[in-house]
């Protein structure tokens, strides 16, 4: 529906890409060209994807060859017993990690700022019940699934939970079924964290990031030396696409943007990095400018961390396409939900539209010097630490295109600090009441 497949206008899974059931791309070692052609016909850059697919095929062939070598040198019963033992050892290691936690129930609550379709302050509730080597995570009472594409399937929730517990208690434990066997997860069906078909899910990483922050925040009193402050708590992406004037060919560049990483016991947070389940490296500016018709005018910290209990600085990126381009993705145009937010928000365009949201009077328009299309983007960006003051919660207004006679600059500050409010309820600490961090400042000139 939009380049990169992440635009927040999507409201059901059918809009998010071609859905393919398990089928054989190879039969008896022979590539099924009709199926392969079908895949390539449905992507914008087929030659790039062809290379990606064959890289994965090569990796699978290497794995197949190594597995056959193992099977040829090991009795069948021994090999299967070893597989079972690896999974069981993993489960035992996870349970040993759980025994480091003081038994009890640890509660926490937070919100996602919005889904881009009018739903704001979307609640997530978590109760972690710790026993003797057991852990039960109960998400019941969290929001129902929403219209926007931040919903999570249950296996996405499982993934976020397993990551957070592993990172906190035993980062070297193998990734296999044993991790899941040691954990019990409870979610309401049809909820944000266990959505029902055909809910939109393309930006589920935003909710996954929030869950990871919440788990660490809930257990911070149980393992204070291991827990960190909340990180940027979401995942922002900006997608640039157009025709490369150097080659005459279409290009598509997806930029994921990090933010602050939470302060730790004895260490400050980290500035402008990817965190938790995303964790990719930052693409070097030299590589961006040589591969794509883009000029990175700046990439720098946007704010400083004042003390150890502040997570970190945000990041600021300014990028200019060398030719008319379209822009889409999840980089937000911040709503103004408070006077402080308004003071930190700057937006300009020579032909502003009248797009509005419940919390913002107007949004900036985006276009190139020739009319182009910019996809809607109203989702919460990486800023905003989960542990942030309630006064700075915000939702993102729609990004719309407008014809412009000169280049347009859109600028938006995502993370905002402020005073810490009182606890939400006795015995239930919210991430809002914990450490703060900054996110990302985007400055795209089209």
Tokens of 384: 């905003």
* Cα–Cα distance for residue pair 402/353, rounded to 1 Å: 7
| For residue 299, pLDDT beyond 50 | yes
| Higher per-residue pLDDT: 55 or 282 | 55
pLDDT at 257: 76
* Cα–Cα distance for residue pair 342/187, rounded to 1 Å: 37
Q: What is the mean pLDDT of residues 260-281?
A: 83
| Higher per-residue pLDDT: 365 or 288 | 288
Q: What is the mean pLDDT of residues 428-433?
A: 32
76-99 burial, b at 16+ Cβ within 10 Å, e below that, comes to eeeeeeeeeeebeebbebbbebbe
Residues sharing a CB contact under 8 Å with residue 416, sequence separation 6 or more, in sequence order: 338, 340, 341, 344, 383, 384, 388, 392
pLDDT at 414: 25
pLDDT at 92: 96
pLDDT at 150: 92
pLDDT tens digits along 116-165: 898 999 999 999 999 999 999 999 999 999 999 999 999 999 999 999 99
pLDDT at 147: 95
pLDDT tens digits along 325-380: 655 555 433 332 333 323 222 222 222 222 222 222 222 222 222 222 222 222 23
What residues pair up with 401 in beta bridges, in sequence order?
Answer: 366
What is the SS3 assignment for 115? coil
| For residue 112, pLDDT beyond 50 | yes
pLDDT tens digits along 376-423: 222 233 333 333 322 222 222 222 222 222 233 333 322 222 222 233
* Cα–Cα distance for residue pair 402/17, rounded to 1 Å: 26
Closest CA to 126 of 240, 214, 222: 214
pLDDT at 325: 61
pLDDT at 413: 28
pLDDT at 441: 37
Using pLDDT thresholds of 50, 70 and 90, give the confidence band for residue 310: low
Residues sharing a CB contact under 8 Å with residue 377, sequence separation 6 or more, in sequence order: 7, 8, 116, 328, 329, 330, 331, 332, 333, 396, 398, 399
pLDDT at 233: 78
| Higher per-residue pLDDT: 304 or 53 | 53
pLDDT tens digits along 28-79: 999 999 999 999 999 889 999 999 999 999 999 999 999 999 999 999 999 9
pLDDT tens digits along 189-232: 999 999 999 999 998 988 999 999 999 999 998 998 888 888 88
The lowest-confidence range among 137-141, 154-158, 262-266, 441-445 is: 441-445
The domain limits of the chain are 24-91, 104-445
Highest mean pLDDT among 173-182, 294-303, 311-320, 373-382 belongs to 173-182
Name the phi and psi angles at 418, rounded to 5: 170, 180
Name the phi and psi angles at 216, rounded to 5: -65, -40
């Amino acid at each position: 529906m939009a380049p990169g497949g992440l635009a927040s206008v999507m409201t059901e899974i059918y809009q998010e890409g071609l859905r393919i059931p398990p089928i054989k791309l190879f039969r008896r070692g022979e590539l099924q060209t009709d199926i392969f052609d079908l895949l390539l016909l449905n992507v914008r850059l087929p030659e790039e994807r062809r290379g990606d697919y064959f890289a994965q095929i090569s990796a699978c062939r290497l794995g197949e060859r190594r597995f056959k070598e193992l099977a040829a040198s090991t009795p069948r019963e021994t090999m299967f017993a070893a597989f079972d033992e690896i999974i069981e050892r993993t489960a035992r290691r996870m349970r040993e990690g759980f025994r480091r936690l003081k038994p009890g129930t640890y509660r926490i609550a937070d919100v996602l700022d919005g889904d881009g379709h009018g739903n704001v302050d979307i609640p997530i509730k978590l109760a972690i019940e710790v026993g003797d080597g057991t852990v039960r995570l109960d998400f019941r009472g969290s929001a129902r699934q929403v219209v926007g594409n931040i919903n999570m399937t249950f296996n996405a929730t499982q993934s976020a939970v397993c990551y957070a517990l592993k990172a906190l208690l035993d980062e070297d434990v193998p990734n296999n079924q044993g991790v899941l066997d040691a954990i019990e997860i409870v979610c309401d069906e049809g909820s944000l964290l266990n959505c029902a078909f055909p809910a939109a899910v393309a930006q589920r990483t935003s909710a996954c990031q929030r869950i990871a922050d919440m788990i660490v925040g809930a257990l911070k009193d149980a393992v204070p030396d291991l827990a960190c402050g909340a990180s940027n708590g979401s995942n922002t992406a900006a997608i640039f696409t157009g025709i490369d004037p150097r080659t005459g060919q279409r290009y598509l560049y997806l930029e994921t943007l990090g933010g602050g990483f939470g302060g730790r016991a004895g260490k400050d947070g980290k500035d402008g990095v990817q965190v938790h389940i995303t964790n990719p490296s930052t693409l070097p500016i030299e590589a961006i400018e040589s591969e794509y018709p883009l000029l990175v005018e700046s990439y720098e910290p946007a704010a400083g961390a004042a003390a150890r209990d502040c997570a970190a600085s945000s990041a600021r990126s300014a990028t200019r396409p060398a030719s008319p381009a379209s822009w889409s993705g999840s980089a937000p145009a911040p709503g103004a939900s408070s006077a402080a937010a308004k003071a930190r928000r700057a937006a300009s365009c020579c032909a502003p539209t009248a797009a509005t949201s419940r919390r913002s009077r107007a949004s900036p328009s985006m276009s190139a010097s020739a009319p182009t299309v910019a996809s809607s983007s109203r989702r919460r960006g990486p800023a905003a630490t989960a542990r942030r003051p309630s006064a700075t919660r915000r939702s993102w207004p729609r990004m719309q295109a407008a014809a412009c006679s000169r280049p347009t600059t859109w600028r938006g500050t995502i993370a905002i600090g402020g005073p810490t409010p009182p606890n939400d309820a006795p015995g239930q600490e919210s991430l809002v009441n914990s450490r703060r961090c900054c996110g990302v400042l985007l400055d795209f000139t089209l």
